Amino acid sequence: MLLCLCMGISGAAAQTAAPRPFAFEELLAIPAVRDVAAAEDGTVAWVEQTRGIWNIFLAEAPQYEARQVTGYDIDDGAEIRLVGFVPGQSRLVFVRGKAGFNPAHLPDPPVPMVFVLSLRDGDVKRLDLGESAFGDDLVISPDGNRLFVLKGGAVWSYALSGEAAPLRLFATRGALGDLLLSPDGTKLAFTSDRSGYDRGKYAFVGVFDLDTRRLLYMAPGVGIDQSPVWSPGSDKIAFIRFGYEPKTWRFSNHREGAPFSVVVADALSGLGNQVWTSDVGYGARFNGFRASGYSGLGGAGNLLWLADGTLVFPYEKTGWKLLYGVSASGGDARLLTPGDFEVDGAVQSPDRQNIAYWANSQSEPHRLGLYRMALRTGLKPRRVAAGKPGMRSKAQFMKNGAILYVHASASVPERLMIRTEKNGEIQLSTGPHPGDPITRKAGDAEVIVYDSFDGMKIPAVLWRPRKIKKGCPVVVHAHGGPRDKVYPVWKAFFGYPQILQYYRSRGCVVLSVNYRSGIGYGLDFREPERYGGRGADDARDFIAAAEYLKANIPEIDPGRIVAFGHSYGGHIVTNALARSDVFALGVVSAGVGDWVVEMEKDFNEPLQFNIPQRLELERLAYESSAISKIDQWGREPVLFLHGDNDGSAAMQQTLELYLALQKRGKTVDAFIMPGEAHSIRLYRNQIGYLRKIDAFIENTLQASGRAGHNQAN
């Protein structure tokens, strides 16, 4: 009896003891879901990245038990993208690799390759597309025989069997993209971006008839045509016409702008017209879900065509990005999702009877929920898994009626889920489940709202341990974007989640700031009067966040506040360091310190302004940059981290600011990753990146006479 009693006490003590803090290797072993595809029979494929390596997993109805179907094990940074299942066959097409990307410095640089995976025996065969690079858009024909590929400025057709010779379908002017087969498989829609000829930024939607080999442009007009979508009968095509204004730049005030239109055209004649146009004034400018870049070029997935002829799209007429519907024959647009919140994305079901969208809400403005609308109920929104914990987003319908989505909570990292009418929610991806021991380490998140320097209300996610560890650094984090947002959940991709979770598990306070110019809080919040290269008020929000911690959490040491940011977050950190003395040190990952350099890189050409306008913009951009305050910089040491194959934030930004600070005798350090991208891919670089940050913070705080978290009691 005594033995049993002792064992019981020991077990209870073990259950209540504080969990061991995270190790970096442990965090990087948590899989991140990168891509998802669904077959007509209910089979689901997805890509997981674990310790830097990407592999494909599969789950089949009705049990949906995950199994790995590829065995890549080399840390070469190669990504995998799913093209899709071959209709009527047990085969999956995918792409592995990225052109011009060799962070592992392999003697024979890898090139993107297309593979066909047999689901029956696991056999993987390469589809030979030749030596020329091909584009991101690959489309499988409905009969499963052909693969349509963008390559060398043309569209090609390849036999999936690999037995027939490839056929060049057509070539035309412009950069082609957004390949989209008609439902009957007879026509191929595409976009043609003409901005590469230095004659203006505009784009057309074209249709190529596979039988007659005839190419027509659909109702050509003035603007950037994007987001094409076919009618159910394949006889018409609709798209968004975005009115790009040449004399604008990244930080122009876009609360107003040229109106956008919904265009419907006849696919056989090319004739069409604008069936609806946004009202002039506030909210008129198009802001889609997946519009790429700062000009709106390349946007996709922003227009849905339902079975009853309703076209659905996002519109900010009220100052909130909401869903509207208009008839394909024209008329007034109807608001489908009323309220003061923002829709983050939307998809339609294969039968075009339903819509799924994910959005925050007036009652929960700081997290996303998943909603469904059906034609049979008048497109009335209904929340999926209402009352259950966690955040649901990034949905995809399956033909069998199930729905796929990503779920996350404060303690459970993002995971792929499927929801069926019979079985409810089932986790597909192989990451942690609720209740797993690892989930006890994450801690709880709360959203706080504080007043910035000018009284604007700024939301932030506070990870506050039950017991704050003495000597721990206090990390204030700035997300990238800036068109992004931090949610009170555990993200699984590489970047800020790992370093923040590392410190949270050690009893450190972490505050992630949703500074002005981010998404989710309305048009006025996203388009403030002064931010970035037009005033840097977003950096002042970040400074105010540190002041909030000092004033409201007495347990922290105000001399140990660390500023950390990646990408646009690097602009926030460098400006905060240059304009205040509240931080002990800064960590700048692929950041921006000079907006004059950056603003023309956005468009790869001089800004379209006359000389007085350009001079005024450059003056404002320079004054809003950290480099302009270099002689006012305090004594805060700074760590710079950057991959030199970064296609987003130029390496020049790190070079300029690092050398300017070094020249003035400031304490600077750097971790440079040759060949690495903006989103770090190699496992060895990820580990090195995290260890460098930890060592820099530890050593800097020790040198200042304040014990680091590794030595603190």
Residue 685's H or E segment, with its range, is helix 683-703
Whether the pLDDT of residue 53 is over 80: the answer is yes
Whether the pLDDT of residue 657 is over 50: the answer is yes
- Name the β-bridge partners of 50: 53
CATH of 174-303, one of 1.10.287, 3.40.50, 2.40.128, 2.40.360: 2.40.128
Q: Domain 21-162 belongs to what topology? A: Neuraminidase (2.120.10)
**Nearest of 126, 40, 123, 21 to residue 87 by alpha carbon:** 40
Whether 416 and 406 have beta carbons less than 8 Å apart is answered as: yes
Instruction: Quote the pLDDT of residue 389.
Output: 79
Residue 26's H or E segment, with its range, is helix 24-28
Whether the pLDDT of residue 14 is over 80: the answer is no
pLDDT grade for 705, boundaries at 50, 70 and 90 = low
Instruction: Quote the pLDDT of residue 245.
Output: 81
Whether the pLDDT of residue 423 is over 90: the answer is no
Q: Global pTM?
A: 0.93
Using one digit for the tens of pLDDT, what is the confidence trace for 484-540?
Answer: 999 999 987 777 789 999 999 999 999 999 999 999 999 999 999 999 999 999 999
Structural Rg of the chain based on CA atoms: 26
Provide φ and ψ at 253, rounded to 5°: -80, 110
CB count in 10 Å sphere of residue 109: 13
The 3-class secondary structure across 534-585, one letter per residue, is HCCHHHHHHHHHHHHHHHHCCCCCHHHEEEEEECHHHHHHHHHHHHCCCCCE
Distance (Å, whole) CA 646 – CA 657 = 17
Q: What is the mean pLDDT of residues 417-433?
A: 91
pLDDT grade for 19, boundaries at 50, 70 and 90 = confident
DSSP 3-state of 329:
coil
CB count in 10 Å sphere of residue 612: 8
Distance (Å, whole) CA 598 – CA 32 = 30
Q: What is the mean pLDDT of residues 660-674?
A: 97
Using one digit for the tens of pLDDT, what is the confidence trace for 429-484?
Answer: 999 999 999 888 877 899 999 999 999 999 999 998 878 888 889 999 999 989 99
Whether the pLDDT of residue 215 is over 80: the answer is yes
Instruction: Quote the pLDDT of residue 246.
Output: 76
- Name the β-bridge partners of 473: none
Query: Which of 192-196, 444-448, 473-477, 627-631 has the lowest average pLDDT?
Result: 192-196
pLDDT grade for 6, boundaries at 50, 70 and 90 = very low
Distance (Å, whole) CA 617 – CA 603 = 15
Looking at the chain, the whole-number percentage of residues with pLDDT higher than 90 is 75
Of residues 631 and 12, more confidently modeled: 631
Instruction: Quote the pLDDT of residue 165.
Output: 87
Q: Domain 443-703 belongs to what topology? A: Rossmann fold (3.40.50)
Instruction: Quote the pLDDT of residue 80.
Output: 96
Whether the pLDDT of residue 605 is over 70: the answer is no
Whether 397 and 372 have beta carbons less than 8 Å apart is answered as: no
Whether the pLDDT of residue 427 is over 60: the answer is yes
Instruction: Quote the pLDDT of residue 7.
Output: 29
Provide φ and ψ at 136, rounded to 5°: -75, -20
Instruction: Quote the pLDDT of residue 299.
Output: 61
Q: What's the distance, CA 317 to chain centroid?
A: 24
Whether the pLDDT of residue 75 is over 50: the answer is yes
Looking at the chain, the whole-number percentage of residues with pLDDT higher than 70 is 94
**Range 455-488 burial, b when 16+ CB lie within 10 A, else e:** ebebbbbbbbbeebbebbbbbbbbbbebeebbbb
Residue 657's H or E segment, with its range, is helix 651-663
What are the structure tokens assigned to 147, written together? 């693969």
Using one digit for the tens of pLDDT, what is the confidence trace for 159-188?
Answer: 998 778 899 999 999 999 999 999 999 999
Residue 155's H or E segment, with its range, is strand 154-159
Of residues 22 and 601, more confidently modeled: 22
What are the structure tokens assigned to 452, written together? 């910035």
**Range 266-305 burial, b when 16+ CB lie within 10 A, else e:** bbeebebebbbebeeeebbbbbbbebeebbbbbbbbbbbb
**Nearest of 208, 311, 201 to residue 264 by alpha carbon:** 311
Q: What is the mean pLDDT of residues 289-302?
A: 62
Strands (E), 236-309: 236-242, 256-257, 261-266, 272-277, 281-282, 304-305
Of residues 36 and 196, more confidently modeled: 36
Domain residue ranges of the chain, discontinuous segments joined by +: 21-162, 174-303, 337-437, 443-703
Whether 390 and 398 have beta carbons less than 8 Å apart is answered as: no
Q: Give the contacts of 465 (CB within 8 A, at least 6 positions apart).
A: 443, 504, 507, 508, 509
Distance (Å, whole) CA 16 – CA 659 = 50
Distance (Å, whole) CA 708 – CA 697 = 8
* Surface-to-core class of residue 536, CB atoms within 10 Å of its CB (0-12 exposed, 13-18 middle, 19+ buried): buried
pLDDT, averaged across the chain: 90
pLDDT grade for 12, boundaries at 50, 70 and 90 = very low
**Range 388-425 burial, b when 16+ CB lie within 10 A, else e:** eebbbbbbbbbebebbbbbbbbbbbbbbbbbbbeeeee
Instruction: Quote the pLDDT of residue 15.
Output: 45
pLDDT grade for 135, boundaries at 50, 70 and 90 = confident
Using one digit for the tens of pLDDT, what is the confidence trace for 136-150?
Answer: 889 999 999 999 999
User: For the residues of 394-452, what is the DSSP string, one character each?
Assistant: EEEE-TTS-EEEEEE-SSS--EEEEEETTTEEEE-SSSPPTT-GGGGGS--EEEEEEE-
Rounded to the nearest 10 degrees, the angle between the axes of helix 496-504 and helix 683-703 is 50
Instruction: Quote the pLDDT of residue 2.
Output: 30
Q: What's the distance, CA 249 to chain centroid?
A: 22
- Give the pairing type, strands 354-359 and 343-348: antiparallel
